[in-house]
Structure 1
């Protein structure tokens, strides 16, 4: 009999974000490796579910048979501390934490404290916790009371691809990330404004559905900065690989990243990277492949852009370093193998 588990997740699994892409790939690879993975959708609104949606999710978990191996995506698990405390002995509860909920950008202080307390309680009820980066592991050890033996890092996978062609007469700057405050697109736009004297065009790919107000603010900022003829807010795109392949440079000003799968994808395409020294980004982007600046600093971000846009030799060196680093990243099958090996201890 093949080992089995229940994977519980919030929202729509087909949502085009790095976290959901991670979930989809991992589930697919686990199944390929012989696991029976039963999917349990927990409903919408997490980590701020309506009361009835929260109670429905708790009921679904409470109805699972004894000794079920239950792996819960952290976007929901962090606010499911009550059912986790009730079911911790009966079920084999495991959590998949992309990044702590309290580290999301834009939270008011009360929400931040509430999420941190809730997630800390929930994590103490797990048999084990899987995280997507060493940076997140360190955060859970230092601020959430977990020990290193209770945590396994399972890096996102990245499939090998051909390097981007680069060398455009008008350099194409690509940014990929949902239009949410944490992704720092406002910082990128203001940085682009500081290099408007140079030739470039920019495409920002990312869902506008998660934070519609932020999307509206960004569109207004593009207009305010008079960048409408140079910046395209492309929304969701089915094949982001085509956009990466057309790029000369990748730039994303995230204020925090639990890992940052798009940075790994940029490396795989051999793209120089301009980013912020935030969360796990320094773990993903090696020094030779990118320029990392402090978060929330459009001037510093613009200076880094200018440096790479004006120096073709430097850009070529960074591109080679990026592609070499990308070739060292694990595939999805390798990442799922790490997860599978640890899961077997609970199955």
Structure 2
């Protein structure tokens, strides 16, 4: 049996802090185990990715306990900002780093960029979650090759939706990178139309920012609901009643909520950033390929508002995009494809 050590941030299974990266890590570990890997999980506590002495010591202790030549897959949130630990360990261990999001996008801190570069140049393999993210990492850090293991998606039932398309859903933590403020600015110009918007995601990542966002939402007459972090059946129920997923992020390496919506036949309105166009993909329509959603520039509330108005006022647009989203369901890859990609990289090490 092949043995794989996986190093994850503490809280990977915390329902109060759901994230695409956490879901990816959990699915990957589960599927690798079904393929015959002995998966040994280690978690490192701390407010990653910003390192301090205690967090670095915790990571060093985990790596030092692995025998020489051991094969280790590290979550980039834990590893990328810790070159003083990872670089020396790379001399005796076979290390692969899975980068869910570059640190400059994750933390908005350019000082972490050099730390990430030193880490990724030292390890045996770097894995990204989309082709776009792989190109970005390779160019930014001068890497010869970045492998790709795109997230899979679980099968799901079709959403029932509404005739008017008025139920909007944004599944994302309330943080600046996810840009809920941009969406609220767009919605503020659409008060003449019928819509309701639910935000499903953590509210405690940036309390000051969350306070500003919720205060803005309060000016929209009770049309906006902040449901907090949702998982399992609670999140499924929100998807089941949604007409359109809206993802206004400033940066995404993939955007797992995009394919989660498409798996339910829900069209997507998202920003054209990172791997989002890859996740959205294409469906086959009567006259050729068609997007199962709409893309707008990031940080542009006017463009977002114009596209939302088109969705809310044009029944033909809704019908066509719903048909495309339903057609896209059958072309989505499951987690088996993700695991095959990961296994190919790990086997090569």
Q: Please state how far the C-alpha of 1:228 moved relative to its aligned partner.
A: 4.4
Give CA deviations for 1:144-201 in whole Å, capped at 9, x if unaligned: 11123xx221111112222211224572101100111110111011111111111111
For residues 247 and 87 of structure 2, the distance between their equivalents in structure 1, rounded to whole angstroms, comes to: 38
Q: Please state how far the C-alpha of 1:288 moved relative to its aligned partner.
A: 2.1
Q: RMSD across aligned C-alpha pairs, in angstroms?
A: 1.5
For residues 312 and 324 of structure 2, the distance between their equivalents in structure 1, rounded to whole angstroms, comes to: 17
For residues 106 and 299 of structure 2, the distance between their equivalents in structure 1, rounded to whole angstroms, comes to: 14
Residue 67 of structure 1 pairs with residue 64 of structure 2: no
Most deviating of 199-208 and 270-279: 270-279
Pairing 1:1-347 to 2, within 5 Å after superposition = 2-14=1-13, 15-104=17-106, 107=108, 111-112=109-110, 114-148=111-145, 151-169=146-164, 171-223=166-218, 226-239=219-232, 240-286=235-281, 288-346=291-349
Are 1:62 and 1:83, in contact at CA under 8 Å, matched by a contact in 2? no
Can you give the 5+ residue segments of structure 2 that lack an aligned partner in the other structure? 282-289
Can you give the 5+ residue segments of structure 1 that lack an aligned partner in the other structure? none
Secondary structure at the aligned position of 1:292 is classed as: strand
Equivalences, count: 336
- Name the CA shift for 1:169/1:301 in 2 (closer, same or farther; >3 Å): closer
Are 2:149 and 2:341, in contact at CA under 8 Å, matched by a contact in 1? yes
Secondary structure at the aligned position of 2:18 is classed as: coil
Most deviating of 163-172 and 262-271: 163-172
Secondary structure at the aligned position of 2:122 is classed as: coil
Give me the TM-score of the superposition, normalised by structure 1. 0.93
For residues 6 and 129 of structure 1, the distance between their equivalents in structure 2, rounded to whole angstroms, comes to: 16
For residues 291 and 133 of structure 2, the distance between their equivalents in structure 1, rounded to whole angstroms, comes to: 23
Are 2:56 and 2:85, in contact at CA under 8 Å, matched by a contact in 1? no
For residues 51 and 44 of structure 1, the distance between their equivalents in structure 2, rounded to whole angstroms, comes to: 10
For residues 62 and 40 of structure 1, the distance between their equivalents in structure 2, rounded to whole angstroms, comes to: 12
For residues 20 and 34 of structure 1, the distance between their equivalents in structure 2, rounded to whole angstroms, comes to: 22
